[in-house]
Amino acid sequence: MYVTPEQVVASNKAGVEVFIGLAHAQFAAFERLSALTFNATKSAFEDSVAHTKALLAVKDVQDLVNLNSAVAQPAIEKAIAYSRNMYDVATQSQGEITKLVESQAGELNKSVVTLLDKVVKNAPAGSDMAVAAVKSALAAANTAYDSMSKAAKQATELAEANFAAATSVAKETTKKK
C-alpha cells in the first residue's frame, strides 16, 4: 500500500482548513473581548467624569456620603456584568474550539481505521496480532478521550454554576449594603 500524492494533498488541505477554522474562532473571540473591554472602559470613563462633576457640586459631608453610596451599587453591578460577559465569551470560544477538535478527532479515527484495514489486506501473514494491538490501542485512546471530554464538560458546568452562585451572592450583598 502506497500513499498517493493526491492523498498527501488532501491531508494537507484538511489540516490547513482546520488551522484556518481555529484561527477564525480565535479572532472572533478576540474581537468580542476587545469590543467588550472597549465598551467597559468607555463606560467607566464616562462614569468617572460624571462622578467627578458630582463631587465638585458637593456642599457638605452628608452629600458626599450619599453620593458615594449611590455610586457603589451601579459600579459593582457593572463589574459583575462585565465579568459575566467575559466568561460567556470564553465559554463560547471554548465550545467552538471543542467542536472543531472533536470533529477532527472523529475524522482522524476514521482515517486510521481505513488505513489499518488497507494494511491488513496487504500485510504479510502473522501480522494480524500487531494490527489488532493497534486497533485495541486506538479504541483505548478513544475511550480515554471520551472520558476526558465528559469530565471537562462536567467541570465547565460546575464552574458555570459556581459563577452564577457567586454572582447572585455578590448582587445580594451589594443590595443589602
DSSP symbols for 122-151: HSPTT-HHHHHHHHHHHHHHHHHHHHHHHH
This prediction's pTM:
0.65
pLDDT digits (tens, 9 = 90+) for 106-126: 777 777 777 777 766 776 777
Report pLDDT digits (tens) over 44-67.
999 999 999 999 988 999 988 888
Q: Which residue has the cell 448582587?
A: 171
Cα dihedral 17, 23, 28, 32, rounded to 10, equals 160
Residue 71 scores a pLDDT above 60: yes
